Structure 1
Amino acid sequence: MTQPLRRVRVVGTSGSGKTTFARRLARALGAPHVELDEVFWGPGWVKRDLAEAHADLRARTAGPAWVADGNWESQLGDLLDGADAVVWLDHPRRTVMARVVRRALRRGILREELWHGNRESLANLLHLDPDQNIVLWSWTSHRRVAARYAARADDPRMVRLRGPRQAEAWLRAVERGSAR
């Protein structure tokens, strides 16, 4: 018998829907949701002190259940190695790009606060530097992120969901209590 999901990481490229997926999964599991961007970014889009961010993450994942979304591989160390599953949202680039463009426009127009007072600006969409432009970041990192997680595909904890339909079907199975 497989053990139930209690601690889950959700990974994928920017715009793949990690946070939306993770929030819904957390509700289904009755677990807290941890957004790694909130942990690692401070006010003014300044990366938080790593020791401070690690302490925050340890506190947020100290309980028996959690759902954490985001990549942040170079910053995590082994902090989330105790995950029961790593859900990889491996969506086609065309899907990701449509989502990230809509999201960037919505956030820019509505001036939505993300965390710690940070907001995305429509002006950022004019930057040619992917570090300043989330749409370019998503475009340029899509292949790299896919390669990173494809290299781990043999991990028995990896759940690779190829496209929104597979992601939706998997979430519905979790909500019914029939997925692992």
Structure 2
Amino acid sequence: MKKIMIVGCAGSGKSTLAKQLGNQKKIPVYHLDSIFWEPGWKPIEQNRFIDKQKEIMEEPAWIIDGNYGSTMSIRMKYADTIIFLHYKTTRCLHRIIKRRIQYHGQTRPDMGEGCKEKLDWDFVHYVLMFNKNNAPTILDKLNSVKEKQIYIIKNPKQLKHFSLD
């Protein structure tokens, strides 16, 4: 397992898990948010975003965290392991609020430079609707994938006992 893709709702802990696995397995970690967002919360041009991901995926080993549905199939093609943190909405909401307080006025380490932590209604709505709108699509994609290790983690207790040995 050298090419690991981590997806899940905002606040599920994708970046934290990516960092932990990267340290444990000595594999480079890439956060899609830090690639997609340029200073001031300006999105990168879509073709550049795809090209940057393809460059990473050509490397012998990587861990990539983030959803970005428009490029998820590309990552799935290259990944040998896919982890879906499929947590309850309330847990993710709690975590994004906690994160907003923790990083108030700062840029998170897994975020694009110059993108100070923020919390707006669109983002809260995204989290509120993730399990209804996004999770079914992710699960459908995972069900169509062959010859990959797929893990669907539903709570922190499961994650605590999770291992990629």
Please tell me the TM-score bracket, short chain as reference: 0.7 to 0.9
AA in 2 matched with 1:25:
L
Identical pairs, percent: 22
Cα gap change, 1:153/1:63 in structure 2, threshold over 3 Å: closer, same or farther? Answer: closer
After TM superposition, what 4+ stretches of structure 1 lie above 4 angstroms from structure 2? none
Given that 1:50 and 1:75 are in contact with CA atoms closer than 8 Å, whether structure 2 keeps it comes out as: no
**Deviation digits for residues 4-56 of structure 1 (CA, Å, limit 9, x no counterpart):** x1101000011111110111112222111011111222222111112222222
2:47 matched to which residue of 1?
Answer: 51
Structure exhibiting the larger radius of gyration computed from Cα positions: 1
Aligned length: 160
What is the CA–CA distance in structure 2 between the aligned matches of 1:56 and 1:29, rounded to whole Å?
23
TM-score, length basis structure 2: 0.85
Taking the TM superposition and a 5 Å limit, the aligned residue runs for 1:1-180 are 5-76=1-72, 78-108=74-104, 110-113=105-108, 114-121=111-118, 124-125=119-120, 128=121, 130=122, 134-154=123-143, 155-156=145-146, 157=148, 158-170=150-162, 173-174=163-164, 177=165
Compared CA separation, residues 70 and 58, structure 1 to 2 (3 A)? same
User: How has the CA–CA distance of structure 1 residues 11 and 116 changed in structure 2, closer, same or farther, with 3 Å as cutoff?
Assistant: same
Structure 1, unmatched stretches of 5+, are: none
Kindly provide the amino acid, as one letter, of the partner of residue 100 in structure 1. I
Task: Provide the alpha-carbon RMSD of the alignment.
Answer: 2.0
Residues 54, 153 of structure 1: alpha-carbon distance in 2 compared, 3 angstrom cutoff: closer
Deviations 1:53-96, CA, capped at 9 Å, x for gaps: 22222233321110000011214552551100110001112211
